[in-house]
Copies of this chain bind each other. A is one copy, B any other.
Amino acid sequence: MSDLSIDIKITKISESKISTVDFDNLTFGKIFTDHMFVCDYIDGTWQTPEIMPYQPLTIDPSARVFHYGQAVFEGMKAFKDENDQIWMFRPEDNFNRINKSSHRMAIPEFPKEFFFEGLTKLLHMEKDWIQKGKGNSLYIRPFVIATEAAISASPSNSYKFMIICSPAQSYYAGEVKVLFAEEFSRAADGGVGYAKAAGNYGAQFYPTSLAHAKGYQQIIWTDANTHEYLEEAGTMNIFFRVGDTLLTAPNNDRILDGITRKSVIQLAKDNGIEVEVRRVRVDEIKEAAKNGTLKEIFGAGTAAVINPIAGFEHAGDEFDLPKMEDSYASFFKQKLMDIQYNVSEDPHGWRFKV
């Protein structure tokens, strides 16, 4: 893509703040790199994109993003291999997904060449912020916000598309136990659950804080109608290993079509692991936990790659999962990271050279 000549206005910082950063002790999402990518939508067009020093926005208190949550985002990562080459993982899927999210939120779609040219330029400028070593990455956050200064409840006429970047270390959340949702829900049929719409996430904070108080780190959301089917976690899709078969919910308008999820499904097929993409009943998972056939539950998402789950609770019933020697979770994590860090072959062309 780098041969496209999109006009991007670039303003560099005078001195990098990178020397002040302790890369061995990063809290996720608190430290940002020197520059950011910004592109404004005004009068029906995306204007000339800019890369400029990371800095606060000046934005009217009546901007629609504050009042009506007209905002979407993405989450992606850049990795550095042993030869200092930068890679990304299936970024075209993130690009397509942010536009799908935008469409649902009545936000104009962003041009592909602006996205890739901006992203590539920005990553080249921030290359020192991407640390080598497995688990290290640069977390990349594209997002769009509605900026028009007017509080009528209708779509904004102006928007800001931005990309900010934050260095990240290998994500280890400790032992993760989850609660299967019985009462609260994440998304409605016919709603915006399949979009990375900002409001979907804030809405989970309160139920999740109640889960924390009970000793569970996350919630696995169930369908809002019956609470009988397991759907996904707050920022991960979910897999269940019953016997040697993997189960995961099908995509629908409540569930985010995760890139890690579909990569796991493909890798399972490549490696002769049976996957059933179908509705997964709370009851069958509890039953499998009771009769010992439930061997693993794990989450799949960009932030943690694969996140093994140690136990769950539903309706007062608590279950601990067995410790596995050859877990699918570590198998997929290894496979994915080997592709991401350019250690292994990449038969599906998922790696993207930056």
Contacts and interface: CB of A to CB of B under 8 A. Distances in A.
Contacts of A150: 27, 29-30
The oligomer's copy count stands at 2
A185 B191 contact: yes
A152 B183 CA distance: 25
B67 A66 contact: no
Interface string A260-275: 0000000000000000
A71 interface: yes
A58 interface: yes
Contact of A65 (B62, B66, B189): B66
A299 to B, nearest CB: 13
A69 B201 contact: yes
B191 A106 contact: no
Contacts of A57: 58-61
A202 B106 contact: yes
A280 interface: no
Interface in A266-320: none
A62 B206 CA distance: 20
Contact of A145 (B66, B143, B200): B66
Q: Which 6 pairs across A and B sit closest by C-beta, in order of nearness?
A: A199-B199, A69-B199, A188-B188, A69-B198, A106-B205, A70-B202
12 contacts: A56-B59, A62-B164, A65-B65, A67-B71, A69-B201, A70-B205, A104-B206, A105-B205, A151-B164, A186-B191, A188-B189, A197-B203
Interface of A: 27-30, 32, 36, 54, 56-62, 64-71, 73, 103-106, 141, 143, 145-146, 149-155, 162, 164, 166, 181, 183-192, 197-206, 208-209, 224-225, 227, 234-235
